[in-house]
Each structure stands twice: as structure tokens, then as C-alpha cells.
Structure 1
Amino acid sequence: MRPRLVSDEVLLDAALLAFAELGYEGASVRALCRRLDISHNTLNQRFGSKDQLWHAAVDHGFKHLVGELLSAVTEAGTDPFDQLRASALRFLATTRANPGLIQIINQESARPGGSRYEYLFHRYIAPINELGLRPLRQLQAEGVVRPGPVSTIFFYLTTYGLGLMGSHPESFASLGDKDVDQEQAAAQAVEMVLDSLRAR
């Protein structure tokens, strides 16, 4: 019987989700191979060790996210508020489609100082922070939005605020809201954030 052909994209999406849900230690490469119905050798030949697979999966997922955010800011034009709104909405749409992106940050941030978290932070988290909050710094300088550390906004947007909506959309139902339109909920949340930022 010929081995089952699975694309690198499918393999890396599945690996990212496994690492995100179970953590690095809990994610078994053999279990992943069984789930995808491929041989252990196939995964080794394509990506090498478990550590190399983790890095490949992270690069695959987060490069796509960075590309989406860059496109959103470019398409929004020159108005900083429009750029901020567009990048927040695209962030939510992208993480909703791939919830493992936020989940893997949460997994690794529980072990700050580790090499995997440092890789995530310096290669993706910090650049995404800079890209997304550049318009906010401009608006602060112009006195349009309230002063304060922009990192506060970054943490709300990417983790337990809007990030939670993207990585755990099933939370709506558990809180009593059934059949929620995800795009409408995202737009409402983003507008609430933007309204709260405006200088009084």
C-alpha cells in the first residue's frame, strides 16, 4: 500500500493545533501521525525532530498572521483609526480561523524565559505589537486618544480580550449567547475598544 500523501500545509496546521491544545510536552508526534494516518518516518523526513516540527508549525501559522495584518493596514489607507480598526478585525478573523495561534502563545507564555517563548516573542509577538500599535502611538502623539502605556491595549487585543474571542469562539454559547454572528461580534468588540481609547 502506498503511503498517504498529506501536504505540508495540512501537517503544519495539525501540528500547530496539537502543540497549542496540549503544550509541547503533551503533544505526541506519534499521536499526530496516527490522527493524520501517516507514518512517523514521513514526519521525520519532512521536518526532522519534534523541536524542528514545533518551529516549522509556528513559522507557518504566524507568518500568515503577520502577512494578513500587513495587508489590513495597507488596505486601510492613511487614517490611523482606520488602520487600527482594520488590523484588529483582521487579527480576529485570522485567529478565529486558526485558534491555535493564540492558544500556543498562552501555552508558552506560562513558561516565560524558555527558548520557545523567546522565539515566539522576538520573532512574532513583538513585531505584531509594533505593527498593530504604530497607529495608536501616532494618535496618542496627536492627543486624539488617551495617554498611557500602549502595551495595555496590546494585551487586551491579543490575549484575554479580543484574543479570547478568536481562540475560543465557543465561549459565546457557554455565556448564554447562542448562534452568534462572529463577524458582528468582532466588529462590536473592536468598536468598543476604539471608543474607549478616544480622549475625553
Structure 2
Amino acid sequence: MTTRTTTRGRRPKHLPDGRAALLGAAIDAFSHLGYDGANLRGIAAAAKVDASLVRVHFGSKEQLWRACIDTLEAALAAPVEILRAISVDETRPVRDRLRDAIGLIAAYALQHPEHKCFISLHASETGERGAVLYRHLLEPVYNCMEKLIVEGMAAGVIRAEHPAMYFCVLAHALHPPPGSPVLMQVIAPEVGGEAFGPALLKQIEMVFFTPPQADD
């Protein structure tokens, strides 16, 4: 009977370093299994590193989770800056700025599905983890969008009673289930597959915006 061991020492050049590999595996595990469902040995195995490296690099499961938040927040920093610039640029019509902001959020969701999955699975968390999730991954985006939504409400571009509720419904519309493009390819090929993203944005604009006026 042979015993399978995890190779110690330098990792092959084509593989990420141990810390990066653990972070990638942890984000995937927490995104699909939740905090309680993910375990450190499984994360280490998925990262192809020795389980002891979790303690070396992160110390604990809680600290690993926080490191995942930091990684996702860092990836979000550049888009948030663009979103903030769109929000404050009052030289452009609010309809155009809302359209650009929504397109930016949609593009980010497509490029970073792990971000969407992580938030979706942890959005119902209460206590400190829920507060950390909101403060680092949701609040920066909402703070930028709130001004645009309020401005759009005042201009009659969008119909909403509360900016936070509008943002909540919009966020769900921009983050359909992962299999949606494939499903639509079966139901309606003209808006499925690669055509799904542009078609979704067009539909969202039709649903979430009022019809443009002649003086817009």
C-alpha cells in the first residue's frame, strides 16, 4: 500500500506560490460551501499545498476568511474608483452615467464570478462577518451608486421609492445564476451564450429606466 504525501519545498514555476494558491482555493471553497462548510484540509488539498501552510500564512480559518475579503476588496478597488468618477461627473446626463455605471458593474460580475458567489453565499451572515462583508465589498459600490440613483429619481430617469431598494433589485438583476447564458441558449439562442450579456443589459435598461424624453 502506498502512502500519498504532499510534496514540500519549492513549487513548480507554473503554479502560484503557496499563499496565493491557498487564497484562490479558499475563495472558491467559501463561495460554494460557506464559512462553516469549508474546511482547512480541503482548502489545502485544492491548493495542492501542505495543510500546515494554512497556519503558517494565515494562522486560523477566520484569518484566512478575512484575507479572502482583503483579496476581493483589492480587486474591487479600481472599478470602484471608476464608478466614483462616473457618479460625480455632473457634466454628463444622469441617464448616461447610470447606463455606464450599470455596465461597469455587469462587466465586473462577468469577469469575477467568484466575487458574486462569495457575496451571495455570505450576504445572510449576521454578526461580525456580515458587517465585514458589507463594509468592504458592498458599501463602497453602494456609496457610489446611491448618489446616481437619487439623482436619477429626482430627474425622473428611474422610478424608485428608496435608493437602497432600487440598488438591491438592480444588483440581483445584474447577477443572474451562472447557468443563465446556457439556459437562454436553449430557450432563445438569439439572446443566449455570448449574446446574453449585452441582451441582459438592454433588458435591464428597459425595465429599470423610464423611457427617454426628447430633452434627455
2:115 matches 1:104: no
Larger Rg: 2
Deviation of the 1:101 alpha carbon: 1.6
User: Does the C-alpha gap of structure 1 residues 67 and 85 become closer, same or farther in structure 2, counting only changes over 3 Å?
Assistant: same
Asked if the contact 2:22/2:44 (under 8 Å) is kept, the reply is: no
Q: Partners in 1 of 2:160 and 2:121 — Cα distance?
A: 31
Unaligned runs of 5+ in 2: 1-7, 212-216
2:148 matches 1:138: no
Asked if the contact 2:83/2:144 (under 8 Å) is kept, the reply is: no
2:14 matches 1:22: no
Instruction: Using structure 2 for the length normalisation, give the TM-score.
Output: 0.76
User: Does the C-alpha gap of structure 1 residues 31 and 197 become closer, same or farther in structure 2, counting only changes over 3 Å?
Assistant: closer
2:133 matches 1:126: no
Deviation of the 1:151 alpha carbon: 2.1
User: Does the C-alpha gap of structure 1 residues 32 and 3 become closer, same or farther in structure 2, counting only changes over 3 Å?
Assistant: farther
Asked if the contact 1:72/1:90 (under 8 Å) is kept, the reply is: yes
Alignment identity in percent?
23
Instruction: Using structure 1 for the length normalisation, give the TM-score.
Output: 0.81
2:162 matches 1:149: yes
Unaligned runs of 5+ in 1: none
1:35 equivalent among 37, 43, 46: 46
Asked if the contact 2:86/2:101 (under 8 Å) is kept, the reply is: no
Q: Which amino acid aligns with 1:124?
A: L
Moved more, 42-51 or 95-104: 95-104
2:182 matches 1:190: no
Deviation of the 1:147 alpha carbon: 4.0
Higher normalized contact order (CA 8 Å, seq sep 6+, divided by chain length):
1
> Across the two proteins, how many residue pairs are aligned to each other?
193
1:162 equivalent among 170, 174, 196: 174
User: Does the C-alpha gap of structure 1 residues 154 and 9 become closer, same or farther in structure 2, counting only changes over 3 Å?
Assistant: farther
Deviation sequence 1:121-167 (CA, Å, 0-9, x none) = 123212211212321211222333324212232112323x2112xxx
CA RMSD of aligned residues (A): 2.6
Q: Partners in 2 of 1:84 and 1:17 — Cα distance?
A: 31
Deviation of the 1:68 alpha carbon: 1.3
Deviation of the 1:72 alpha carbon: 4.7
Asked if the contact 1:73/1:86 (under 8 Å) is kept, the reply is: no
2:79 matches 1:68: yes
Partner of 1:93: 107
Q: Which amino acid aligns with 1:171?
A: S
Q: Partners in 1 of 2:183 and 2:40 — Cα distance?
A: 32
2:181 matches 1:172: yes
Partner of 2:5: none
